[in-house]
Amino acid sequence: MCGIVGYVGRTTAVQPLLKGLKKLEYRGYDSAGIAVVEPHLQVYKTQGRIADLEALFTKGVPQGTLGIGHTRWATHGQPSWENAHPHCDCSEEIAVVHNGIIENYLELRKELEAEGHVFRSETDTEVVSHLVEKYYEGDLGCAVQAAIAQLIGSYALAVVSSRHPNELIAVRQDSPLVIGVGEEEYILASDVPALLDFTRTAWVLDDGQVARITRESVVVFDQHGEQQKPQTIRINWDPVQAEKEGYAHFMLKEIHEQPRAIRQTLAGRLGVRGNLQLAEEIPADLLHGITDVHLIACGTAYHAALYGAYLLQDSTDLQVHAELASEYRYKRVRVDDRTLAIAISQSGETADTLGAIRKAKAAGARILAITNVVGSTLAREADAVMYTHAGPEIAVASTKAYTAQLCCLGLLAAYVQLHLRGAYDPELLRQLLEIPDQMASILQACEERVKEYAGQRLAAASDTFYLGRGLDLASAMEGQLKLKEIAYVHAEALPAGELKHGTLALIEPGVPIVALATQPHLLDKLLSNLREVKARNGEVFLIAMDGERDYSQTADEVLLVPPTHPMLAPLLTALPMQLMAYYAATARGHDVDKPRNLAKSVTVE
Ligand code: G6P
């Protein structure tokens, strides 16, 4: 989920490339680079800001009119000059920029190295430049087509070669790419904002299509070499709308990105037949001989920790605890070299989480980080890292990073079970593969309904309650935090069975209650708790999974999520609750992406 730009046209390429990259800065990045053909390939890179890249041209700008550029947000390999794009082949004639993940890059790299190719970075991308070099026989487009036939994964690619000074090759598979149409010039970009200063007319590439872009024309082919007519769009968004891909806020965009984010999280880790591939990330000695697991986190990530603890407890005999980092740091805990501490943090920079793992490490624990940010402090200090691969999350309230954390924890629980017991629940992994499509169908089916409910009921409430039992409790806790964070409505999550021990006194006519019912073995108990609520005229919005049950006596509104493995239900129920918080906040007129008194990354105690 980095940023791509490409240019071929009448003017020197550097300025339009830098201009395009600047428009993608909002997405977040750790390094940037461009390559220009003039007539040799010139590559400029920096581990830093676009301004640092621009500074490389103070002494003069190359005159080439063909080039590609990239802002990198690290996924494979630390943020560094070497890992920044573009990446070249051995002869330094071909340059490639890439968004997405090449799942089979390790195999390809081994093959290419055995054939004599020399790699200079740790990235998955570099295999593409060497593959294009390998297949090049005078036609760059054909070489790219042959190279992509070897790739498994998602990608948007832009490729140039010094042998073709008027040709930009672009291709996409599950990662967006648009071609802006100008007067004798074309600008290629992964995101619409990079086009807007040039043109409002663009061609959208479809999956598997390869575009051969020259100053004079664009020719698009499909996988079989058949020429295609590209789909033309007219862009009506203003620059601010374009950054959010037309969504009103980054939070809403990120909620909608979850199907794609989870596909990325699963990529390369779970094969189509449900086979797990985690040995590279989680070496066997990390798990060998462990007796205790401490899952440590703050905020939303702590709710993911609760989820992970539930899964590990359910599937192993380990002693498992979810711990709030700010508490863990200062309490007496039993931790030693048989403890695996799993730190979960979107940013990898949260001060309390770092403090807690330093304490665990000092006592001999092994540290596994689950984070979204490659090269973050947490990733650097941990013994092993599992990246969530959710892409940059810009809204302060965490949405896609949270579900990606749940996804990692699901994979991890199966992997730990396999390591300790020699087997895991294949059904859980099989169902995990279905989650992205199920998320997409929930978003499509429930948004309008949830918007109405949140705008009318939650936005007007002063107190709300979120109820669940078992794994649904962890989800309820995340649901109530979202509402507090951005809608500033008081919310409290409770184990449904605890209501009768006091809180029931607060249930009055019309008090909104969001209840979760996805755990079959607890469903009857939950429904009887809800009857107590209904007896006091509380107003229940139920998110349930079993479509066969009659909820008429227990809920005012029922939203069904598609059936999945009960352990995976939190990945689905999160979505309507995120939308509830979002629409309650917008109904109250709040700045959703920047809520009051809350920072994206809390680097103080
Ligand atoms: C802040 C953010 C939350 C986040 C928490 C932990 O409170 O506003 O959205 O869940 O920090 O952040 P981390 O980066 O460690 O996941």
Residue 598 alpha carbon, nearest atom of ligand 1: 8
- Using CB atoms within 10 Å of the CB of residue 588, give its burial: 0 to 12 exposed, 13 to 18 middle, 19+ buried: middle
Counting every residue written for the chain, the total comes to 605
Instruction: Characterise 171 by phi-psi region: left (phi > 0), alpha (psi -120 to 50), beta (else).
Output: beta
Annotated active-site residue 407? The verdict is no
Q: How far is the CA of 479 from the centre of ligand 1 (A)?
A: 15
- Whether the link from the prior residue into 86 is cis, omega within 30° of 0, is yes
Least confident span in 125-129, 285-289, 357-361, 594-598: 594-598
Residue 371 alpha carbon, nearest atom of ligand 1: 16
Residue 297 alpha carbon, nearest atom of ligand 1: 15
pLDDT over threshold 70, residue 1: no
Q: Could you tell me which residue, 601 or 581, shows the higher pLDDT?
A: 581
Q: How far is the CA of 144 from the centre of ligand 1 (A)?
A: 41
- Name the catalytic one among 2, 88, 407, 408: 2
pLDDT tens readout for residues 61-95: 999 999 999 999 888 888 899 999 999 999 999 99
pLDDT tens readout for residues 306-324: 999 999 999 999 999 999 9
The residue whose CA is least distant from atom 3 of ligand 1 is 299
Q: How many angstroms separate the Cα of 463 from the Cα of each of 458, 491, 538, 539? A: 9, 6, 12, 12
Share of the chain above pLDDT 90, in %: 75
pLDDT over threshold 80, residue 597: no
As a whole number of angstroms, the distance between CA 526 and CA 512 comes to 17
Mean pLDDT of the region 438-467: 96
Mean pLDDT of the region 477-500: 95
pLDDT over threshold 80, residue 156: yes
The residue whose CA is least distant from atom 15 of ligand 1 is 345
Tokens of 242: 């374009």
Share of the chain above pLDDT 70, in %: 99
- Using CB atoms within 10 Å of the CB of residue 448, give its burial: 0 to 12 exposed, 13 to 18 middle, 19+ buried: exposed
Model pTM score:
0.84
Asked if residues 399 and 256 have their Cβ atoms less than 8 Å apart, the reply is no
Mean pLDDT of the region 23-42: 91
Instruction: Characterise 208 by phi-psi region: left (phi > 0), alpha (psi -120 to 50), beta (else).
Output: left
Q: Could you tell me which residue, 508 or 480, shows the higher pLDDT?
A: 480
Q: What is the pLDDT confidence band of residue 446, given thresholds at 50, 70 and 90?
A: very high
pLDDT of residue 168: 98
pLDDT over threshold 80, residue 186: yes
C-alpha angle 391/396/402, rounded to 5°?
55
Q: Residue 145 belongs to what H/E stretch?
A: helix 140-148
Mean pLDDT of the region 115-128: 96
Q: What is the pLDDT confidence band of residue 451, given thresholds at 50, 70 and 90?
A: very high
Asked if residues 388 and 404 have their Cβ atoms less than 8 Å apart, the reply is yes
Q: Show contacts of 105-113: CB within 8 Å, 24+ apart.
A: 105/76, 105/153, 106/280, 108/150, 108/151
pLDDT over threshold 80, residue 274: no
Mean pLDDT of the region 122-131: 96
Q: How far is the CA of 601 from the centre of ligand 1 (A)?
A: 6
Angle subtended by helix axes 126-135 and 140-148, to nearest 10: 120
Mutate to test the pocket of ligand 1, among 255, 295, 303, 345 (most ligand atoms within 8 A of CB): 345
pLDDT of residue 197: 87
- Domains in the chain, start-ordered, CATH in brackets? 3-241 (3.60.20.10), 252-433 (3.40.50.10490), 436-587 (3.40.50.10490)
pLDDT of residue 517: 97
Looking up tokens 């949260």 gives: 350
Asked if residues 333 and 294 have their Cβ atoms less than 8 Å apart, the reply is yes
Listed residue (37, 137, 126) closest to 118, CA to CA: 126
Residue 398 alpha carbon, nearest atom of ligand 1: 9
Cβ within 8 Å of residue 330, ≥6 positions away? none
pLDDT over threshold 90, residue 107: yes
Listed residue (533, 471, 464, 457) closest to 492, CA to CA: 464
pLDDT of residue 364: 97
pLDDT of residue 362: 96
- Name the catalytic one among 19, 484, 594, 600: 600
Annotated active-site residue 446? The verdict is no
Listed residue (60, 78, 73) closest to 377, CA to CA: 78
As a whole number of angstroms, the distance between CA 74 and CA 93 comes to 24
Q: Could you tell me which residue, 392 or 429, shows the higher pLDDT?
A: 429
The separation between the first and the last C-alpha atoms of the chain, rounded to the nearest angstrom, is 31
Q: What is the pLDDT confidence band of residue 603, given thresholds at 50, 70 and 90?
A: low
Buried b (16+ CB within 10 A) or exposed e, 329-364: beeebebeebbbbbbbbbbbbbbbbbbbbebbbeee
Mean pLDDT of the region 131-157: 95
Residue 353 alpha carbon, nearest atom of ligand 1: 15
pLDDT of residue 408: 98
Q: What is the pLDDT confidence band of residue 581, given thresholds at 50, 70 and 90?
A: very high
Asked if residues 564 and 545 have their Cβ atoms less than 8 Å apart, the reply is yes
pLDDT tens readout for residues 202-239: 998 888 899 999 999 999 998 888 898 877 888 877 77
Q: Residue 52 belongs to what H/E stretch?
A: helix 50-55
Helices (H), 267-363: 284-287, 299-315, 325-328, 351-362
Q: How far is the CA of 231 from the centre of ligand 1 (A)?
A: 40
Q: How many angstroms separate the Cα of 169 from the Cα of each of 132, 156, 192, 323, 397? A: 11, 11, 19, 50, 38
Cβ within 8 Å of residue 316, ≥6 positions away? 416, 417, 420, 421
pLDDT of residue 242: 79
Q: How far is the CA of 298 from the centre of ligand 1 (A)?
A: 6
Residues at CB less than 6 angstroms from ligand 1: 298-301, 345-347, 350, 353, 396-398, 598, 600-602
DSSP state of 520: G
Listed residue (375, 379, 332, 317) closest to 353, CA to CA: 379
